[in-house]
Amino acid sequence: MEAAMNEITYWYQQYYGDGFFLMMAMVCYIYLYAHEKKERKRFLYPAALLVFCVANPLLYFLVFHQIIYWRLFWLVPDALVIAYTVTKLVQASGKMASKLLVLLMTGALLVINGTNVYQKGGFTLIQNPEKVEKPVKEVCDFMLELEESPRCILPAPFLWQARQYSGKIQTMYGRNVQGYILDANEDQWGMYYEIESGQADYDFIFRRASELGYEFVVIYEWNEVEKSVPGVYNYQEAALIDDYRIFYSGDHLVAAEAVPSE
């Protein structure tokens, strides 16, 4: 249990940063408990139950360690509690000037102590309506011109973007190889490891891709592949698009032209 509690504490610290938002939420919980008795049963107690479940070391040990744990924090209504408390404080203020002062002070506290998520590196400017990176779109378009429902083995940048771009694309693995949602099987783990290793066993990659019936193998452009290896398993390099080499084992190569890199 101690190890589970340490993990929970670590993720709470990661999720809440310097702790200001958590501290503000706790103050709001206390305020509502003390001044809004009618809200205890229909609002505060359910919220406290969610917090108890999410931060429960026994549940973490039995269940939560197997999933993306920090996503459970989305269940905790801290933002809702803060917004509700501020609304109550504004309503309780007498004059309009007092209402504006409460609202502006709260807003200023959040702005000064909060973090702009758009500056944290987790967001990028979209380049197309499908909201995927340009190289991903180009590689997917190339495969879709050759096969109606291409079966493919793809590197890490494609793990979620390829299926988001088109449901017709059948990937060998997705984010499951990074521990998301479902477990990956031995073939998926092995292939992903080789593709990402930088010193891949391409005999294994193309042999197993052929055995499992995948028409496309996409690798990083900087990976060196012995020219004789793909041909042994009936693969040929079909295109170089941006930073990716596309190998194809089907019969429709003349039907498509490589998308030029920029």
Which one has a higher pLDDT value, 140 or 8?
Answer: 140
pLDDT-above-70 percentage for the chain: 90
Is the pLDDT assigned to residue 244 strictly greater than 90?
yes
Q: Tell whether the model's pLDDT for residue 95 goes beyond 60.
A: yes
**Rounded mean pLDDT of the chain?**
85
pLDDT value of position 175: 80
Please state the pTM of the whole predicted model.
0.63
What is the pLDDT at residue 262?
Answer: 47
- Residue 118 to residue 111: CA distance in whole angstroms: 14
CA atoms 229, 235, 236, 240: torsion sign? negative
**Mean pLDDT confidence for 33-46:** 85
Burial of 143 (0-12, 13-18, 19+ CB in 10 A): buried
Which of 63-77, 109-123, 140-154, 186-200 shows the lowest per-residue confidence on average (mean pLDDT)?
A: 109-123
pLDDT digits (tens, 9 = 90+) for 53-70: 988 888 888 888 777 788
Q: Which of 11-25, 53-67, 125-139, 236-250 has the highest mean pLDDT?
A: 236-250
Single-letter amino acid code for the residue at 106: T
Question: For 28-49, what is the mean pLDDT?
Answer: 86
More confident residue, 47 or 257: 47
- What pLDDT is attached to residue 13? 79
Mean pLDDT over 160-167 rounds to 90
Res 255 pLDDT > 80: no
- What's the Cα-to-Cα distance from 244 to each of 132, 140, 150, 208, 222, rounded to whole Å? 15, 11, 17, 20, 8
pLDDT of amino acid 155: 93
Q: Comparing 5-19, 136-150, 213-227, which segment has the lowest mean pLDDT?
A: 5-19
Instruction: Return phi, psi of residue 12, to 5°.
Output: -65, -40
Asked whether the predicted pLDDT for residue 143 surpasses 90, the reply is yes
Residues in the chain: 262
- 39 pLDDT more than 90: no
